[in-house]
Structure 1
Amino acid sequence: MGGTRWIFAAIIAGLVSGVSVSALAATVQITMDKLEIAPGEVSAKVGDTIEWVNKDPFAHTATAKDGDFDVMLPPNKSGSLVLKKAGTFEYYCRFHPNMKATLTVTP
């Protein structure tokens, strides 16, 4: 019986050891380069992280039209956002309004 208790304890320890929904989350990378956002349409899930990589020598933002997020992206740097809610979000760069993209977030 001692072996059975050890196996049971190991299973419980594994379940409690920090396995969480965030362990299943993904990081989705979007690039801003030469005044373009690529890809222009991205799908992700609640809990995922969006990482915008600014490859330009000047600042950009990833600003949701509805005001849900506004991520500052210094020149040649990146910025990120953990997705908190589902929906379709149109966003743009405040400094370069012709840079536009769409982010679709599912539950």
Structure 2
Amino acid sequence: MPRGNLILSSSLAGGLLLVGIGASAAAPTQVYTFKHTAERTDPKASGRVVVRAAGTDTLETTLTLSGLTPNKAYAAHYHALGPQASADPCMTNGPVTLGFPPFKASATGRATVKVTAEASKVAGNAGAYINVHAASDLKVVPLCAALRRTSPASGSSVVTPAPTAPKAAITVSIGDHVFQPKMVTVKAGTTVTWKHQGAAVHNVVSLATPSLRSEDLEKGESYSYTFSKAGTYDYYCSYHEGMTGTIIVTD
């Protein structure tokens, strides 16, 4: 099993399905969301994949996971598209092309694991999807993230077009029991990033906009959301009463 320079991190970082991985290190940062497999093991598990350029023709892939079985050992691998025809890469039973370092969930069921490798090792068909396995039985796969799509007609790999870059970006600081600034006015297309600078665990949740919802954030972690439509978006921290904020989006 080919492997790159492996890096394991115990820290956490705060999905949108964007584009398939390209071979160029100049590719933009890409974010993918894990989904449950049909096995429904670890039913509370969730997470995301972040792929970014780490140097010339080198990519760093970071898996941020939560809701795992506390203190349980896991493994994760890149897989290529397999021989089984399916519109879902996770269902094609593809071979392993790159491995992540083995890791264990924390006492709260969270983990972050990284692998740095040549872009060519995950380009083309090599990085079609990522599976998270139970280390004790690699046939147990609680989570999968699709990085490439297959064509239902031909079964060949196709790449989703790259999205248009956001028009602007702004940062909201998360302190203990306060969002600062509490109210922000932005134009449609702006990406807002919440940066945790406090001590307690916080999150960003909107009842009216279900897609506006972060995982639990600890100090140093962040969460970003792009507001594509005009409107008023109220949000709050589900852990602390009265900790609220508002994003006003104009055309």
Normalising by structure 1, we get a TM-score of: 0.71
Tell me the equivalent position of 1:63: 205
Where structure 1 has 5 or more consecutive residues not aligned to the other structure, the ranges are: 1-19
1:22 paired to 2:175: no
Match of 1:52 among 190, 194, 199: 194
1:85 paired to 2:229: yes
Structure showing the higher helix proportion among its residues? 1
- Is the contact made by 2:187 and 2:249 (CA closer than 8 Å) also made in structure 1? yes
TM-aligned CA deviation for residue 73 of structure 1 = 4.7
Match of 1:94 among 213, 229, 238: 238
Paired amino acid for 2:214: V
Q: Which moved more, 1:59-68 or 1:48-57?
A: 59-68
**d(CA) in 2 for partners of 1:102, 1:60:** 16
**d(CA) in 2 for partners of 1:21, 1:44:** 18
Runs of 4+ in 1 over 6 A off after TM superposition: none
Q: 1:92 to 1:71 in 2, by over 3 A?
A: same
Counterpart secondary structure, 1:67 = coil
Tell me the equivalent position of 2:217: 74
Q: 1:86 to 1:73 in 2, by over 3 A?
A: farther
Paired amino acid for 1:48: T
Tell me the equivalent position of 1:43: 185
**d(CA) in 2 for partners of 1:71, 1:86:** 21
**Percent identical across equivalent pairs?**
25
Normalising by structure 2, we get a TM-score of: 0.32
Aligned length: 87
**d(CA) in 1 for partners of 2:191, 2:213:** 14
Counterpart secondary structure, 1:61 = coil
Q: CA RMSD in A?
A: 1.9
Where structure 2 has 5 or more consecutive residues not aligned to the other structure, the ranges are: 1-162
**d(CA) in 2 for partners of 1:38, 1:73:** 18
**d(CA) in 1 for partners of 2:250, 2:192:** 13
1:104 paired to 2:248: yes
User: Could you say which structure has the greater relative contact order, defined with CA pairs below 8 angstroms and 6 or more residues apart?
Assistant: 1
Paired amino acid for 1:100: T
Tell me the equivalent position of 2:99: none
1:34 paired to 2:156: no
- Is the contact made by 1:52 and 1:73 (CA closer than 8 Å) also made in structure 2? no
- Is the contact made by 2:179 and 2:243 (CA closer than 8 Å) also made in structure 1? yes
- Is the contact made by 1:65 and 1:91 (CA closer than 8 Å) also made in structure 2? yes
Counterpart secondary structure, 1:37 = strand
- Is the contact made by 2:176 and 2:199 (CA closer than 8 Å) also made in structure 1? no
